[in-house]
Amino acid sequence: MKTTIAIASLIFMQALIIVSAQAKTTRDGVYTEAQAKRGEKMYAESCASCHGADLSGSGQAPELSGKDFNADWNTLPLSDLFERTRVTMPADKPGSLKPEQIADLTAFLLQKAALPDGQTELPSDLAALKTITFVSPKP
Ligand code: HEC
């Protein structure tokens, strides 16, 4: 009986930890300003040629900032946007960027979406990124 209660409370505490880890969203300051700055530089070098210097897109390349972009990613784990970029971008050289560089780029996209920065850098670890939900900025 005692063991059952002990196990039950362990499971309960584990659930609490998981819930609190998942409670994070992009409105909670999940990247740093310095990181977004690095991402901005990389964006100019590797992405702007297709997505535009102002992220508004051009030709086949969609906007990376604005209503459509927010709608594409809203409520999804941030790992989805990260993986989409890591695996398929830059479209002319997919897979050429390191995970840390993708994290910097993602930080820049969050900054451009007017989502707040914070004290800790956005991780490049997929498991950690899964615990952050992309939530669009307040209109
Ligand atoms: C050679 C042109 C080109 C370059 C360079 C490029 N992209 Fe793209 N990107 C595209 C095209 C075309 C699409 C849409 C079709 C596709 O997925 O291939 C796209 C789609 C995307 C999407 C999905 C957007 C959405 O809302 O569905 C993201 C995110 C993205 N690109 C990020 C980047 C980032 C970050 C870089 C720089 C590392 C980059 N792209 C460089 C052409 C490019």
Residue 91 has pLDDT above 80, yes or no: yes
**What is the structure's pLDDT at 20?**
57
Q: Which residues form ligand 1's pocket by a CB distance below 6 Å?
A: 46-47, 49-51, 60-62, 64, 69, 72, 81, 84-85, 88-92, 97, 105
Cα-to-centroid distance, 61 and ligand 1 (Å): 6
Q: Among 8-12, 14-18, 35-39, whose mean pLDDT is lowest? A: 14-18
Tell the burial category of 139 from Cβ atoms under 10 Å away from its Cβ (0-12, 13-18, 19+): exposed
Q: Is residue 21 very low, low, confident or very high in pLDDT (cuts 50, 70, 90)?
A: low
Cα-to-centroid distance, 86 and ligand 1 (Å): 10
Q: Is residue 10 very low, low, confident or very high in pLDDT (cuts 50, 70, 90)?
A: confident
Question: What is the torsion angle, in degrees rounded to the nearest 10, for the CA atoms of residue 31, residue 35, residue 39 and residue 40?
Answer: 100
Q: Which tokens belong to 105? A: 């780029």
**What is the structure's pLDDT at 129?**
97
CA–CA dist 63, 55 (Å, integer): 6
Nearest atom within ligand 1 for CA of residue 84: 29
Q: Is residue 76 very low, low, confident or very high in pLDDT (cuts 50, 70, 90)?
A: very high
Diameter over CA atoms, the chain: 66
Residue range 60-85: mean pLDDT, rounded: 97
104 backbone φψ class: left, alpha, beta (φ>0; ψ -120 to 50): alpha
Give tens-digit pLDDT for 97-134: 999 999 999 999 999 999 999 999 999 999 999 999 99
The percentage of residues in the chain with a pLDDT greater than 70, rounded to a whole number, is: 94
Cα-to-centroid distance, 42 and ligand 1 (Å): 14
